[in-house]
Structure 1
Amino acid sequence: MEETINLKELFQILRKRLLMILAVTFTAVLASAIVSFYFITPIYQSSTQILVNQKKADNSIVQYNEVQTNVQLVNTYSIIIKSPAILDQVKKQLNLDMSVQELTNKINVASEKDSQVFSVTVQDAKPELAKDIANTTAAVFKEEVAKIMSVDNVSILSIAEVAKEQSPIKPQPMLNIAIAFVVGLMVSVGLAFLLEYLDNTIKREQDIEKILELPVLGVVTKMEEKKAAAAAVTKVREQTIGS
């Protein structure tokens, strides 16, 4: 029975603070939409794939140890491709007005487990620039790794391209709005309960019974100002007539 009463009280609190809850949630959603559509710079992504595989003569058999060696080299190549030895040349070829560290932050190298293929992904506010950085990095790496490692086992599987109607990968306005709605709703509901908890005023006779643990013997009903004045005038007239 106590759980039912508490549950009803929770709903009553939410109902009483409904306007505040809606206002906070709507404000969060509106702010998220404005920031996502008008203030966050769209970021585009472009990728190229590189294969690590030693070139072999015709009809030669691929050995398991050779494949495992190539797979292990992928980790090494992932570090080399983001090194200044590669990115300095990328900067020069593209005449980029940024530091090597800034260029490094734009590039992400990833590979699947036990795979001889790894991808070079570039993110930038300009889709054409992202494509150029990805392709140039792959080309420079293929040329320089042969000198650095004294091997010829790198091939470019696919080059980065820009689609006609390429969409930015971030921001994602609808996702941001959904997150803002959930966060705004949680914050507003929490605020409603906090305000109710901090409100120690007595509003009902039940509050008196709960605090003082005494029964309520009588209740003075609230009267509107005009009705109270009319009642007072009527009482005076009755007293005047009676006297």
Structure 2
Amino acid sequence: MEETISLKELMQTLRKRIGLITVIAIIAVIISGVVSYFVLTPIYQTSTQLLVNQKKGEENPYNTNQVQTNLQLINTYNVIIKSPAILDKVVDELNLKMTAAELNEKVTVASEKDSQVVNVSVQDEDPYKAAKIANKIANVFKTNIASIMNVDNVSILTKAEVGEKISPIKPKPVLNIAIALVVGLMVGVGIAFLLEYLDNTIKTEQDIEKILEIPVLGVITTIEEHDEVNARQRAGNKVRVRGETVGSQK
């Protein structure tokens, strides 16, 4: 006999385990909030922009071939910016207590499509330190790119600065709590259905029909203990009333 689960049974399972689901979701939210606000260290990000412009002395500033050449060089510049040739000098000049490889993990270099602007972003626990590193990377790159590639077509467009109300880019407590709530609800629902699946006790006549695959002919209602006591008291009262009635007739 193939077993089927109706939507009504699913809803009954959820209602029966709603307490468990709620508790798991609340625990997930609390853990996420505590970790986000008190455990994880806020990370700030600052950025500087480099402009890959025309070579000095170019008469026509809008030379299409030169622009295309600069655009093709941007990918090369992105690699060079994060190379030890640049980052080692940044570490030395700023006396950073980290290696070039560790600094490389904090630096992100990107450029918009068909744009001559390169964004250099640095992440750090201290926003002022991140801005200082970003600006130093830009200066070191601009100074040394001429000797590395024998070109001189890079200028600093904007410097990294720390705003008055700078916010950390991570962690994001609200987002983390929202994700934890969804995950907690999903885990709670999963555990609820798992417990229901593992529960093999017989509770209703429908359970008997499913297990034995035979129809139920009758059901004996459960007599509660207090109902049984009340029934006995009522029976005793009837006996006493009958005894008094018989005695009065005599």
Under a length normalisation based on structure 2, what TM-score does the superposition of the two structures give? 0.88
Tell me how far apart the structure 1 counterparts of residues 39 and 220 of structure 2 sit (CA, whole Å): 57
Deviation at 1:30, TM superposition (A): 1.1
Moved over 4 A (4+): 229-239
Matched, 1:36 2:31: no
- The one-letter code sitting in structure 1 at the alignment partner of 2:43 is I
Matched, 1:120 2:120: yes
| Letter of the 2:128 counterpart | E
Aligned equivalent of 1:67: 67
Tell me the residue number matched to 1:149. 149
Query: Hey, what's the Cα distance between the residues in 2 that align with 1:106 and 1:117?
Result: 20
Q: How far apart are the structure 1 equivalents of 2:213 and 2:108?
A: 67
CA separation of 1:161/1:190 partners in 2, compared to 1, >3 Å: closer, same or farther?
same
Q: What residue in structure 1 maps to residue 100 of structure 2? A: 100
Shift of 1:209: 1.5
TM-superposition CA deviations, 1:179-209 (whole Å, max 9, x none): 1111111111111111111111110011112
Larger radius of gyration: 2
Q: What's the offset of the Cα at 1:233?
A: 7.2
Pairwise CA RMSD: 2.3
Shift of 1:214: 1.9
Q: CA deviation at 1:222?
A: 2.0
Aligned partners of 2:47 and 2:119 also within 8 Å: yes
Assess if the C-alpha contact under 8 Å between 2:108 and 2:120 holds in 1.
yes
After the TM superposition, which of the residue ranges 45-54 and 223-232 deviates more from structure 2?
223-232
Aligned to 1:89: 89
> For the Cα contact (< 8 Å) 2:52–2:154, is it kept in 1?
yes
In 2 relative to 1, CA 59–69 (structure 1 residues): closer, same or farther, beyond 3 Å?
A: closer
SS of corresponding position for 1:170: coil
| Change in 2 beyond 3 A, CA 1:61/1:90 | closer
**Distance of 2:224 and 2:230 partners within structure 1:** 10
**Alignment-derived partner of residue 248 in structure 2:** none
Give the Cα separation in 2 of the matches to 1:180 and 1:128: 32
Q: CA deviation at 1:81?
A: 0.8
Name stretches of at least 5 consecutive residues in structure 2 with no aligned partner.
244-250
The correspondence of residues 12-23 of structure 1 with structure 2, limited to 5 A, is 12-23=12-23
User: 1:191 matched to which residue of 2?
Assistant: 191
Match of 1:79 in 2: 79
Counterparts of 1:137 and 1:56, CA distance in 2? 22
Report % sequence identity: 61
How much has 1:148 moved relative to structure 2?
Answer: 1.0
Q: Give the aligned length.
A: 239
Structure 2 contact 90–137 (Cα < 8 Å) conserved: yes
Give the whole-Å Cα distance in 2 for the aligned partners of 1:84 and 1:171: 29
- Pairwise mapping of residues 223-238 of structure 1 onto structure 2 (< 5 A)? 223-229=223-229, 231=231
Alignment partners' CA distance in 2, 1:208 and 1:60: 91
**Is contact 2:54-2:61 (8 Å) kept?**
no
SS across alignment from 2:201: coil
SS in 1 for 2:109: strand
Structure 2 Cα separation of the partners of residues 96 and 227 of structure 1: 82
Distance 2:224 2:162 in 1: 72
Provide the C-alpha distance between the structure 2 equivalents of 1:132 and 1:238, rounded to a whole number of angstroms: 98
Partner of 1:109: 109
Query: In 1, Cα distance between the equivalents of 2:5 and 2:124?
Result: 57
Secondary structure in structure 1 of the residue aligned to 2:179: helix
SS of match in other structure, 1:211? helix
AA at the equivalent of 2:17: R
For residue 217 of structure 1, report the CA deviation from its aligned partner.
2.3
Query: Matched residues in 2 for 1:75 and 1:61: separation?
Result: 22
Range with greater deviation from structure 2 (228-237 or 63-72): 228-237
Deviation at 1:225, TM superposition (A): 2.4
**What is the letter of the counterpart of residue 143 of structure 1?**
T
Distance in 2 (alpha carbons) for counterparts of 1:219 and 1:58:
99
